[in-house]
Amino acid sequence: MKVVEKLYLGRIATPLSDRRRPVYNWFSMKEAFSRDLVFLLAETWGLGEGDVALDPFCGCYDSETEVLTKKGWKRFDTVTVGDEIATLNPATFELEYQRPRRLYHYIYRGKMYKVKSKQVDLLVTPNHRMFVAQRKSLKPKSEWIFDLIPAESIFGKHVIYKKNCKWRGVEKATFELGNRKPPMDDWLFFFGLWLAGGSVTKYRRKNGKGYFYVVQIRNYNDEILSKAVEVAQRLGFNPHLTQGSKVKIYDKELYEYLSKSGKSREKFIPDDIKSLSPRQLELFLNAYLLGDGRRSTVRKQRNPTIRCWTASEKLKDDLQEIALKAGWSANFALSAKAGEKDDRIPRRQIFAGRNTWMLTFIQKHDTPRVYGRRSVRERSENVENWVDYNGDVWCLEVPNHVIYVRRNGKPVWCGNSGTAPLACRELGLPCVGFDVHPVLLFASRVKLGDYDVGKLRSAVHGIVKSKFERMKVEVPALVSRVFPKPVLEDIAHFRGRIMEVDDEKTREFMLLGLAVAAMRCSWARRDGAAIKVVKRAVPPLRKVLEEQLLRMCRDLEQFRAKPSNITIEHCDARKMNLADESVDAVITSPPYFRKQEYIHVYRVEGWILGLEKPRADELIGVREGSATEEDFSDVTEFVGEKPFEAKLYFKDMFAALREISRVCKKGAGICMVTSDGCLPSGPIEVCETLSSMAEKVGFRAKQLVVVNKRYCTTPARRRVGISREALLMWEKTV
């Protein structure tokens, strides 16, 4: 078996479960596989009647993050499926515009990964895929390999981000200005100087008959003015160098063209210039910075800092986009608010009439490092931590999976959302999903249903507008602790109204929405297997429920799936009700050793949905009562002298692997995500043990891809070894 280390998937899901619906944000669960993995398995093994157990792999940005489109920078809440998004081809590092396959928006409450340095500023959900290169050796960072890695997997590690790209623009020889066709390079130099420090004015003639039109460029550098005169002459104009450091041109045609680019506070760069080649865009940028730029005066500095200032918000955005296409990058920050003193010129009292931004251009160092949290550089250069967040998050999915985003003026290439469930639905694969947890089965069944959205909206309106009635219900102690009394009363009221709905699908749809909305109005905080109570002000349940149900309706309207036969069943993986040799592929993530917290954390949702908790005898690695060594006779060769709880886990997993082998056809592909276990005495090798068991029951272990590593520690936090999270790939050979 080939062992490969590719530490990029991060934290993987625990329960063996279906959870394949792309409307994943209806009920939050942990991630498992990327979309690319499912498509790869589909091509390699030809996914057919697959027992496919998948988790969402989603991640999103906070409300302050923007994305670059062909129409400029946009906030995520204004992006539509018709917009063309600036994406990065990860193989060639070329900028490519692509339309989003899907848009994501939901309310998120929990920890967010925050990273902030001089060149990077991001706030994303823990499982969001970051486009970074991890430090693996002392090789130059130019040799580091970029990949999509979950945020939670790079926390505390030394990584580099990417801010620039390659751009295949159009190289144009000439520019069309009426009947004139001057050289494009000369026009770009002239236009750059004018945009930085020029203006246009229309004057009435002294005799009152008609107007004359003036284009002027102001600059206090005589060499630049002389160059401007020379270029203007080559363009076919008759420039005049006047007092006051100005070049004036009297030309109506030129006036009419330049006046379209706006006055000083509304200036922008036309789209036909933004589509030019990198060479010509760099020529334009250099001309603009000659007119309005300032280079640092630090001695012996190999790459001096270049800055410029503008009061035009649109021009600020356009310059940032052109810098990217020229092979550079640019950050911006608010230099002075309207009415505040502008300190750019010493010893002068200047107050900004409007918000003024400072842009900083980076020509060479476009792969900034972010150091691990234990680095001494942390105090001065970067901040990396987990912050509490409660609000809207957004993202989108594009074919290249890497998009150009910015936050607080700092742009960087970063990953997009993408899920294995979406891939299965896109492929229209027949699937069978098994689980023993009633809450997870309920959520999967609702998310995979077919609905009449019109009827759903009508039912939602009737529920959320219903008059409140106080109902008596029996409330478990845990539930009473995590909800304020008014929220508990609202839950009882809305659950009662929902249970009066005749249509079962509609009823279950709204119950799931109620469970999700109620948790947003609770004091509950999940911490592994524990549910902690943190009292705080909560929003009214009626409002949150309406938002949640209407958002679910919108999700249904946006999603387009191919027809496929999907079955969700309550079934023990050790005894599946499937025919022999009926499955073409298995993609799953069974419970990790000593990681059964998912049994407990959905107890509150289970009460709201009216469901029972799973039975102990249906759970992997959990047993009520005692067991003897004879009970482990079938796995003795694999478990040896391992501790009792490890033997119990492997016995159950061996039974599940025998069942998987029974139902799989010859040649079927199996992809399993699992992890080594940890005990106070040291790590338990789960990955190799499961692979050995798989070979015993008819599989050939093809590859073990290590996707994450963690330290095993004692209760006193002493390190006793390393636990690996891995992707196991097998093939049925008999």
How do residues 174-221 score in pLDDT, each as one tens digit?
Answer: 999 988 999 999 999 999 999 998 999 999 887 878 889 999 999 888
Per DSSP, 244 falls in state: T
pTM of the model: 0.54
At 321, the pLDDT band (50, 70, 90 cuts) reads very high
- pLDDT value of residue 691: 92
List, for residues 664-691, the tens digit of each pLDDT value: 888 888 888 788 888 888 899 999 999 9
Q: What is the mean pLDDT of residues 560-582?
A: 70
Find residue 593's DSSP bridge partners: none
List, for residues 386-406, the tens digit of each pLDDT value: 999 988 888 887 878 899 999
β-pairing, 102-117 with 121-124?
antiparallel
Number of residues that this document lists for the chain: 734
Q: Is 145 exposed, middle or buried (0-12, 13-18, 19+ CB in 10 A)?
A: exposed
List, for residues 331-343, the tens digit of each pLDDT value: 999 988 876 766 6
Question: What is the distance between the alpha carbons of residues 116 and 114, in angstroms, rounded to a whole number?
Answer: 7
- pLDDT value of residue 441: 76
The closest alpha carbon to 128, from 34, 202, 63, 37, belongs to 34
Q: What is the mean pLDDT of residues 110-126?
A: 91
The closest alpha carbon to 698, from 652, 731, 675, belongs to 731
Question: What is the distance between the alpha carbons of residues 453 and 677, in angstroms, rounded to a whole number?
Answer: 45
The closest alpha carbon to 412, from 480, 344, 347, 331, belongs to 331
Question: What is the distance between the alpha carbons of residues 293 and 196, in angstroms, rounded to a whole number?
Answer: 8
Q: What is the mean pLDDT of residues 649-653?
A: 88
Distances (CA, A) of 349 to 197, 339, 340, 480: 21, 12, 10, 62
Question: Hey, where are the domains in the chain?
Answer: 2-56+422-732, 66-163+367-417, 184-362
Q: Is 218 exposed, middle or buried (0-12, 13-18, 19+ CB in 10 A)?
A: middle
Q: What is the mean pLDDT of residues 61-71?
A: 93
Q: Does 66-163+367-417 match 184-362 in CATH topology?
A: no
Sole residue written with tokens 């450091």: 245
What sign does the dihedral 552-557-558-560 (CA atoms) show?
Answer: positive
Mean pLDDT of all residues belonging to the chain:
80
Q: Is the model more confident about 14 or about 713?
A: 713
Q: Is the model more confident about 680 or about 540?
A: 540
3-state secondary structure of 462: helix
Q: What is the mean pLDDT of residues 305-315?
A: 92
Judged against a pLDDT cut of 80, whether residue 573 lies above it is answered with no
List, for residues 249-286, the tens digit of each pLDDT value: 999 999 999 998 877 788 999 999 999 999 999 999 99
The CATH class of 184-362 is alpha beta
Q: What is the mean pLDDT of residues 475-503?
A: 93
- pLDDT value of residue 675: 84
Q: What percent of the chain has pLDDT over 70?
A: 76
DSSP letters, 126-148, are TTPEEEEEE--SSS-GGGPPEEE
- pLDDT value of residue 378: 45
Specify the long-range contacts of residues 62-65, CB closer than 8 Å, at least 24 apart: 62/112, 62/123, 62/124, 62/389, 62/391, 62/393, 62/407, 63/391, 63/392, 63/393, 63/394, 64/123, 64/407, 64/408, 65/122, 65/123, 65/394, 65/405, 65/406, 65/407
Q: Is the model more confident about 705 or about 116?
A: 116
**Could you give the dihedral angle defined by the CA atoms of residues 56, 59, 63 and 65, in that order, rounded to the nearest 10 degrees?**
-150
* CATH number assigned to the domain covering 66-163+367-417: 2.170.16.10
At 490, the pLDDT band (50, 70, 90 cuts) reads very high
